[in-house]
Amino acid sequence: MIKPHGADHLNPLYVLDDTQRKELEQEAKSLPSIIISSAAAANAVMLGGGYFTPLTGFMNKADAISTSVSMKTNNGLFWPVPIINVIKDPASIKGAKRIALKDPNVAGNPVIAVQDVEAIEEFSQEDMKLMTEKIFRTHDDKHPGVAAFNSVGNFVISGPIKVLNFSYFEKEFPDTYRTAYQIRESMQKLGWNKIVAFQTRNPMHRAHEELCRMAQDALKTDGILIHMLLGKLKEGDIPADVRDACIRKMVEDYFPANTVLITGYGFDMLYAGPREAVLHAVFRQNCGCTHFIIGRDHAGVGDYYGPFDAQTIFSEEVPKGALQIEIFEADHTAWSKKLNRVVMMRDVPDHSKEDFVLLSGTKVREMLGNGIAPPAEFTRPEVAKILMEYYKIHK
């Protein structure tokens, strides 16, 4: 395994000591409080789990703008997107030096973290426009990430935080949600040193499954970390519990024992394409992974990014040596009718479009909704069965 980003050891901000945590929970009851955005709550969860090492809390205005523009903080730390707590109205916490942050995603809005307030600053319209352009490469409010980023307000509260819980992720996904330090511990127990990570926000079809195998074989890794996003997605995406069931079934039936770790992390999807791909690489390094698969349209949405922009950002914009983790660049993968196996399209220049089993997402959803399993070359039958059950209810 490799060192965390920017540090010798992970820096999880979750208060592990039970006594200290209970004292903080008690103190939080008397503190000025705010219900934060889902994005800020997800940031707190990631900070708590050590995923955002070496950060100690929420960024200030200067660091937020600097990371947006140049992918580094004012003190020179490489970081691809701002990690911020933004609200619409700071009146209720004016003058406070310490505040309780309440979770918007759990009934009753329990306190998720306590924050020391270093500053409350306001982003101007020009600031918001600049950050949006740099992070998302568009201002289009039809882009789900742009819409979310610009809907939470423009007052940024900076300062270190102490995290008291992991929101709904531990309770709703007890077998899947893991912190970065728990993932490192699991890898150490398995004796893994060289690990390739695969990011997913979807069920894994045959092409994804084979892509993991291709990467493992090419890199000669000890294991594969399948690491799924468990937070909020855009409307129409398949819920995390269904994806989880699909992936577990696929691994159980088609991978050797102890070669794959199935885990999830608590974060809301940004749909920021290249910038989000770099963030994904940062926190996979913090998990201990040595390699990370970046495929076609990684973390993208619609037609906002080129199919391989999430790969070229690493060679064109990420400074050499900024990250220890290495990128495994993958092409679009599909079943070859000629070769009777899944291939990367770049590896078979003699193929035409008709030589592949290709189905659009719309077509697959239509088939599943009608109780028709996609071809076995596209989706494992066991996975298709789980998806058909879901679509039967959610047509």
Which pLDDT score is estimated for 232? 77
The model's pLDDT over 10-27, given as tens digits with 9 standing for 90+, comes to 999 999 999 999 999 999
Which pLDDT score is estimated for 231? 86
pTM over 0.85: yes
Task: Provide the residue count of the chain.
Answer: 395
Which pLDDT score is estimated for 161? 98
CA angle 295, 293, 310 (to 5 degrees): 45
Which pLDDT score is estimated for 395? 64
The model's pLDDT over 157-188, given as tens digits with 9 standing for 90+, comes to 999 999 999 999 999 999 999 999 999 999 99
DSSP state at residue 97: S
Q: Give residue 61's pLDDT band: very low, low, confident or very high (50, 70, 90).
A: very high
To the nearest whole number, what is the mean pLDDT of the chain? 94
Q: What is the mean pLDDT of residues 206-233?
A: 93
CA-to-CA separations, 313 to 117, 166, 281, 327, in angstroms, rounded: 34, 31, 12, 11
Task: Classify 221 as helix, strand or coil.
Answer: coil
The model's pLDDT over 37-58, given as tens digits with 9 standing for 90+, comes to 999 999 999 999 999 999 999 9
Q: Answer whether residue 71 shows pLDDT above 80.
A: yes
The model's pLDDT over 307-319, given as tens digits with 9 standing for 90+, comes to 999 999 999 999 9
Which pLDDT score is estimated for 202? 84
The closest alpha carbon to 129, from 142, 143, 140, belongs to 140
Which pLDDT score is estimated for 147? 95
CA-to-CA separations, 125 to 5, 88, 122, 128, in angstroms, rounded: 32, 13, 10, 5
Q: What is the mean pLDDT of residues 60-78?
A: 97
CA dihedral 89, 279, 295, 3 (to 10 degrees): -160
CB-based burial of residue 330 (10 Å sphere; 0-12 exposed, 13-18 middle, 19+ buried)? buried
Which pLDDT score is estimated for 189? 96
Which of 32-41, 349-358, 386-395 shows the highest mean pLDDT? 32-41
Q: Answer whether residue 240 shows pLDDT above 90.
A: no
The model's pLDDT over 268-300, given as tens digits with 9 standing for 90+, comes to 989 999 999 999 999 999 999 999 999 988 998
Q: pLDDT over 90 for what percent of the chain?
A: 85
* Distance from C-alpha of 301 to C-alpha of 143, rounded to nearest angstrom: 8
Q: Answer whether residue 145 shows pLDDT above 80.
A: yes
Q: Answer whether residue 236 shows pLDDT above 80.
A: no
User: Could you tell me if 318 and 301 are in contact, meaning their C-beta atoms sit under 8 angstroms apart?
Assistant: no
Cite the active site residues. Answer: 201-202
User: Could you tell me if 294 and 276 are in contact, meaning their C-beta atoms sit under 8 angstroms apart?
Assistant: no
CB-based burial of residue 54 (10 Å sphere; 0-12 exposed, 13-18 middle, 19+ buried)? middle
Q: pLDDT over 70 for what percent of the chain?
A: 99
Could you check whether the bond before residue 54 is cis, i.e. omega within 30 degrees of 0? yes
Which pLDDT score is estimated for 8? 94
